[in-house]
A and B are shown apart, each in its own frame.
Chain A
Amino acid sequence: MLNEPTGPDLAWRRWLLRVTTRRPAVPTVPAMNATIEVTGLRKRFGRTLALDGMTFTVAPGQITGFVGPNGAGKSTTMRVIMGLDRADEGNAHIGGQDYHQLRRPMTHVGALLDAGAVHPARSGRNHLLWQAHSQGLGAGRVTEVLHLTGLDSAARRRAGGYSLGMRQRLGIAGAMLGDPPVLLLDEPFNGLDPEGIHWMRGFLRGLAAEGRAILVSSHLMSELEDTASHLVVVGRGAVVADTSVEDLIRSASGDRVTLRTSARTDAMNQLAAAGATVAATERDTITVTGLAAERIVALLNHAGVPFSEVSAHRASLEEAYMELTRDTVEFRGAPVPSSLSVSLSPPAPASPPAPSSPSAPSASEVAR
């Protein structure tokens, strides 16, 4: 902080101070407080409760997946974070600040909310140029982000002729204009071909490695596999699970072990005696719950029971996610019988949504 000038030539010295202490055009290093903090957001659209106490934090240096079925409140939450929608209750902060307090907000947070939000007659380059001008940035930065997203060759064509994948890249380019420490991307994988998905994953991982906080929403968990390291799973306007990917899979997998053995009866007796729950599933296969795989192998070896295969079950991210959100999906087809018997929580009452009593404990709250 420079000292306030005093003395006779106050006016012009103040002016000089102002012109000589301009802030750098773009913060080059993501700030330490590169976070998104969402606290207790509630928002109602007419009779629909869109957000019902949404609370989570996005940490820097990693990609946080923001997943949930359609209508779970992901986009609404993102719009509230971006200062576009007003929440009835609660608040959202970026680096500790309300969005409306940010000067040149695109240098604090970059967002891709809707890849289709372009004027079809404007070129991709000009679409970025007006955004750059709004932040006091020049055409040079536009060239940089076009290169960064691989759009150099298409830059001067009408955006109306872009494929959805190119529009996603254009949206990412826009989010990167201010080189922000925080990124917020709504369904960036939508419409991407496999090559595009591969590129997007690598790109986002690279940004996270630079220390940025990145929130990526998707309604398909599979898109976030191998990309997100942390997950915020939402349903019906609230967080269902806020966990690392590793913990989620571990808990979803439970401790089921599948055992293939020619001596089925012996094995079942031995393991039941050790306190496990045992079920015969096929002629030479049993499923064991309550004992770790290592412990099963030791027990059977000790008892001399032959077995040909022991496999600990590992749930896929998709399975874990389906299990989490089963009770929070508002619209779905006929229930599909699932062989999965994992449960993260006490079984939720399978009651239909009761819109007339939104304060009644919902399945999502119980699940949380």
Chain B
Amino acid sequence: MSFVHLLRAEWTKFRTVPSWLIGAVVAILVLILIGLVSALGSHAVAAGPGGRPRQVLLGPDGRPVQDDFTFVRRTLTGDGTLTVRVPALTGGETGLEQWAKAGLMIKANTQPGSPYVAVMRTGAHGARMQYDFSGDIAGPASAQWLRLTRAGSHFTGYASSDGSTWTRIGTVTVAGIPATASAGMFVTSPPVEVYEQHFGSAEGNMYPTQATATFDDLTVAGALGADDWQGGPLADTPGQVTRTGDAFTVSGAGNIAPNHPDGNNAVERTLVGTFAGLTVLVVLGVLFVTSEYRRGMIRTTFAASPGRVRVLAAKAVVVGAVGFVAGAIGSAIALPLCRHVLIRNGNLVFAVTTGTEVRLILGTAAAIAVASVLALAIGTLLRRSVGAVAAVIVLIVLPYLLSTAAVVPADAARWLLRLTPAATFAVQQSVTAYHQVEGVYTPALGFYPLSPWSGFAVLCLYAAVAFGLAAVVVRRRDA
């Protein structure tokens, strides 16, 4: 008996129970509608006279960035090399931030968000070379001397502890910096983010900090402009520049880094209804087998097809396919629809690449599909609808809600999202947790402890183990 016959039989079983087909449609609808209700209920409007909708600064690759610092610069045309000593980097009242930065920079212009390459000292992470906001290369742990060389579109960063022995940090190629660019010294210090979680809500609050650095022994090889060194904060952040002879004392605040959205303005909030659609589909996955046990129909099935594991596999393919298709349709509609509503209501939704959108949609579909297979396996093991549905919800939906709705503390939430099949919701994370950006990366703000596909793999592991157990049991047990 071919597996195709089995598949066809199981699919016939599924499609001929009207309430199951309705259930699949309901799953699609709740997935979309919960996202839609959430989008319709979210408004961002100009508050008070002079209020403006929130603007977001975009970097060279179109992704949101922060670009606030104090810059002492001159124009540099063509190739060149800047060398400087940074003997001191100190913090303000709250102390020196780990990611406070002071160093050399070549930037396309002084427009916020324009391309740049920089080499710097940091508060606690040694010398670094950073470029175009997300690029970050670690250099020597302690270095007072910094050097930045331009050769066309190739930039090389060096660091040294004595000014004579240099360590090359890295060479990067950055397009978009014109022949005549701004070059000079910069200082910035990122805000401290304080995470507050109350039962059911979570937020990160920012408090600004400041850093002050001393620069001396500045040498520049290359065609500098006729103007003298001039400087100040690039945006409306506090900062000042004092020049004493050839030494500069520069203070600054802000950050030059990728901007990380939280759950409220990340695109995955459009898929917030996933847990509900998944719940409906796992109930179908359970019922697809328990309804046969309840009425003794499983005997008809196993008499018609004595290869029980193959029957189980055919059932898994059917509920998995139903879950995948329903999840794909639901999320493929919910994502663009809810995003449109959110943006129309004035909300900020951070843009993502098409690849990320596809990953969110197909990842959601795959997660629902595998969860349905897990539900089928648990239904086979328990043979009771209520117990099996409860087990699947406790395994998947409950940990997800507890951790992402800020019910359990952030650390507990991270463990839940590592150890339970709810880890699979990581496939919906579009926001990136940058190691070089201090921030609050908790599940309640949309940051999962595992990468998207490792989170999905946790669910797959659960499903595989449950299916294996079900296969063993179903072979041994009398039907």
Contacts and interface: CB of A to CB of B under 8 A. Distances in A.
B135 to A, nearest CB: 54
B16 A123 contact: yes
B5 A129 contact: no
Contacts of B299: 79, 82, 84, 113-114, 117
Interface stretch (B211-219, B301-309, B343-351, B435-443): B301-309
Interface stretch (A95-103, A144-152, A198-206, A360-368): A95-103
A316 interface: no
Interface in B261-312: 291-292, 295-297, 299-306
Contacts of A106: 303-304
Nearest to A103: B1
Contacts of B302: 83-84
Nearest to A130: B12
Contacts, number: 88
Nearest to A98: B306
A183 to B, nearest CB: 13
Contacts of A358: none
Contacts of B479: 79, 84-85
A252 to B, nearest CB: 35
Interface in A105-136: 105-106, 111, 113-114, 116-119, 121-123, 126-127, 129-131, 133-136
B129 interface: no
A86 interface: yes
A85 B478 CA distance: 5
A187 B173 CA distance: 83
B13 interface: yes
Contact of B300 (A85, A117, A135): A117
A134 B299 CA distance: 14
B153 interface: no
A79 B8 CA distance: 25
B311 to A, nearest CB: 9
Interface residues of B, number: 28
Contacts of B6: 134
Nearest to B301: A134
For chain A, the bracket of interface size reads 20 to 34
Nearest to A113: B299
Secondary structure at the A interface, as helix, strand, loop or mixed, is loop
B1 A134 contact: yes
A174 interface: yes
Contacts of B19: 121
A295 interface: no
B306 A83 contact: yes
Nearest to B4: A136
A136 B5 CA distance: 6
Given A126-B16, A127-B16, A135-B5, 19 more contacts: A83-B306, A84-B479, A85-B479, A103-B1, A105-B303, A113-B300, A114-B296, A114-B299, A119-B291, A122-B16, A123-B16, A126-B12, A130-B12, A131-B304, A134-B9, A134-B304, A134-B305, A135-B304, A136-B5
Q: Report the 8 A-B pairs with minimum CB-CB distance, sorted nearest first.
A: A134-B9, A126-B16, A130-B12, A117-B296, A84-B479, A85-B478, A133-B9, A133-B8
19 contacts: A79-B478, A79-B479, A85-B478, A85-B479, A104-B1, A105-B303, A105-B304, A105-B306, A113-B299, A114-B299, A117-B295, A117-B297, A117-B299, A118-B295, A119-B291, A129-B16, A131-B304, A133-B9, A134-B304
